[in-house]
């Protein structure tokens, strides 16, 4: 069990990992989706580094409370999000649940609008 939740898929993304993920990306003023926002580490990093708007999804109700005021939650379940809901997104940045990482990454590419950059961690 970890500090925030009993969710076995909850692995907060460390700042140094986010720095590496976002190296060279120009997010200034961009609209970004974080599909599995967890406690908000990626959301906070994006906002602190100039993102215009950050929207997110998070299934875990305890973690949703931690995201209050940090971003707009558009859905509990990223896999139910449609391309219409993210039509203005410039980036999708995520650390998906390791148990469903492949599904989340494929779904991100399926719904991403033309020109959207998808950046994701994934388990080996």
pLDDT at 1: 41
Which of 87, 43, 39 shows the shortest CA–CA distance to 65? 39
pLDDT for 7 beyond 70 = no
pLDDT at 122: 84
Which of 83, 91, 87, 93 shows the shortest CA–CA distance to 116? 91
Q: What are phi and psi of 28, to 5 degrees?
A: -55, 120
Tokens 């650390």: give the residue.
Answer: 95
**CB neighbours (10 Å) of residue 54?**
25
In DSSP terms, 93 is beta-bridged to 119
Model confidence pLDDT, tens digit, residues 71-113: 999 999 999 999 999 999 999 999 998 888 899 999 999 999 9
pTM: 0.91
pLDDT for 33 beyond 50 = yes
pLDDT for 49 beyond 90 = yes
CA distances from 35 to 1, 20, 86, 97 (A): 22, 19, 11, 10
């Amino acid at each position: 069990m970890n500090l925030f939740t009993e969710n076995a898929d909850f692995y907060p993304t460390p700042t140094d990992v986010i720095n590496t993920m976002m190296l060279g990306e120009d997010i200034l003023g961009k609209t970004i989706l974080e599909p599995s926002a967890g406690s908000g580490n990626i959301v906070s990093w994006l906002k602190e580094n100039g993102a215009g708007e950050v929207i997110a999804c998070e299934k875990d109700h305890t973690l949703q409370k931690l995201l209050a005021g940090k971003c707009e939650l558009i859905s509990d379940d990223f896999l139910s999000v449609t391309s219409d809901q993210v039509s203005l997104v410039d980036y999708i940045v995520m650390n998906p649940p390791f148990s469903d990482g492949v599904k989340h990454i494929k779904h991100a590419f399926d719904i991403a609008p033309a020109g959207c950059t998808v950046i994701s961690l994934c388990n080996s």
